[in-house]
Amino acid sequence: MLKLGLCGRTIAILAACGVYGLKNRVQELERELVRVERMIEKERIEIKRLNAEWATLSHPERLTRLASTHLGLASATPGQIMAIADIQMRDAPSGEPGPALVSSNASSTASLRQ
């Protein structure tokens, strides 16, 4: 009887310790979860900031101004647009990797070279 009682008490104490440890672990995990969620939220805000910054930096008016000032580019004209199917292809000379492009439209060729 004495042994059984002692054994029971030991098991109860061990179980209590186990539950206590488990509870602690769960609390730690919950804290970790909150920390991770905060981090995600922080990253989300950072992504939003970067997206907004990207949108500001790629504002069409700004790009047009910069491209015109630093690269000497201008808006495309209708003559520079053509369908791929309309471009005449010629056989590549031997030794070259693939067919080269030939266009009857000079401006289109210029555009393609860019």
Partner 1 sequence: MSGEPRQGKPRRRKTTKDTGVGLEIRRARTRLRFLAVAGVLGFVALGARLTDLAVLSSTGPVTDRHVASPEDNQTRRADITDRNGRLIATDYPKISVFADPKEVSDPGETASALAEVLPNLDAEKLGQRLSRQNARFVWVKRHISDDQQRKIMRLGLPGVQFRTEYHRVYPQRSLTSHVVGYVGVENQGLAGIERSFEARLTEGYYDGPLQLTLDLGVQAAVRDELKQAVERFQAKGGSGLVMEAGSGVLLAAVSLPDFDPNHYQRADKTARFNRNTQGSYELGSLFKVLTAGMALDSNAVEITDQFDAVKPFKMHRYRIKDFHAKKRRLSMAEVIAFSSNIGAAQMAMAIGTEAQTEYFRRFGLLERHPIRLNEVSRPQRPKVWREINTVTASYGHGIAVSPLQAIDAVASAVCGGPRRPAYLSAEAGMETPLRPAAVRDETAAMLRWLMWLVVAEGSGTNGQVPGYLIGGKTGSADKAGPKGYGDKRLLSSFIGAFPIDDPRYLVLVTLDEPKGDEETHNQAHGGWTAAPTVAKIVSRSGPILGLAPAELAAERWFKDRLLVGEAFNGRLKRTEPSFAAVGDGGWALPSMPSRSGGEECSCGVCLTPG
Q: How far is CA 90 from the centre of its chain?
A: 39
Q: How far apart are CA 99 and CA 101, in angstroms?
A: 7
**Contacts to partner 1 by CB under 8 A:** 16, 19-20, 23, 27, 30, 33-34, 37-38, 41, 45, 48-49, 51-56, 58-61, 63-64, 67-68, 71-84, 86, 110-111, 114
Q: State which residue, 18 or 95, has the beta carbon closest to partner 1.
A: 18
- Under 8 Å between Cβ of 111 and 82: no
- Under 8 Å between Cβ of 98 and 92: yes
Q: State which residue, 88 or 114, has the beta carbon closest to partner 1.
A: 114
CB of 52 to partner 1, least distance (A): 5
CA angle 85, 91, 92 (to 5 degrees): 115
CB of 14 to partner 1, least distance (A): 13
CB of 2 to partner 1, least distance (A): 18
| Strand pairing category for 100-102 and 88-90 | antiparallel
Q: State which residue, 46 or 92, has the beta carbon closest to partner 1.
A: 46
Q: State which residue, 66 or 100, has the beta carbon closest to partner 1.
A: 66
- Under 8 Å between Cβ of 82 and 54: no
CB of 57 to partner 1, least distance (A): 9
